[in-house]
Amino acid sequence: MRLDGKRIMVIGCGGSGKTSLACEIGQILGIDVIHLDLLFWKPGWVETEKSKWKQIVKEVSSRKQWIIDGNYGGTIDVRLLVADTVIFLDVSRFLCLWRVMKRRILFHGKTRPDISEGCPESLSWDFIRWIWRFPKLKRPGLLEMLNVYKNKKNLIILQSNKEIKSFLKDLKQSFKVNLHAIRLEE
């Protein structure tokens, strides 16, 4: 698997590992990571107004390079139009639920780094239900949308921890080789 471009979307179910993967890719490539949750949620879990939200996403998507993690279906089209690469974490709902529960315990009473200050970690039955239903309700639409771009974008679908680790290992190796080649040219 290759990673082309400098505008990379990371999407998937809640708990799929979007933020972790985006941060790791950002460290390897030296590209800023934009967490949509951080931009969307205001203190006290207050949502950004829809009219402002689309403008915010347009602004961050217009940057020369970025890694954006998050779904936000109402603005996915904005990001898809300008993204070079889309990484879809298509992992099992059980793994997603496990990670969300683990995250809830790790950040109990605290705010995660990828969420606005004043939004302490919480876990609701609605969110658990959303994760459980994601494979049937959201996944087909995402795959259909990605299929439209299959010949226009670099699409990467990772379906397990093993595939994610292998992808990161390959990316690190490839980046080291590319850096070495650049230094030889200088």
Q: What is the pLDDT of residues 151-185, one digit of tens each?
A: 999 999 999 999 999 999 999 888 765 554 444 44
Cα–Cα distance, 70 to 12 (Å, whole number)? 7
**Tokens for 91?**
């992992």
Predicted confidence at residue 184, as pLDDT, reads 43
CATH number of the structural domain 7-177:
3.40.50.300
- What are the residues whose beta carbons fall under 8 Å from the beta carbon of 53, sequence distance 6 or more? 40, 47, 72, 74, 75
- 98-148 pLDDT, tens digit per residue, is 999 999 898 888 888 888 888 888 889 999 999 999 999 999 999 999 999
Does the global pTM surpass 0.85? yes
Cα–Cα distance, 11 to 42 (Å, whole number)? 21
Contact 7, 60 (CB under 8 A): no
- What are the residues whose beta carbons fall under 8 Å from the beta carbon of 167, sequence distance 6 or more? 1, 156, 158
- 60-90 pLDDT, tens digit per residue, is 999 999 999 999 989 999 999 999 999 999 9
Predicted confidence at residue 110, as pLDDT, reads 83
Predicted confidence at residue 28, as pLDDT, reads 92
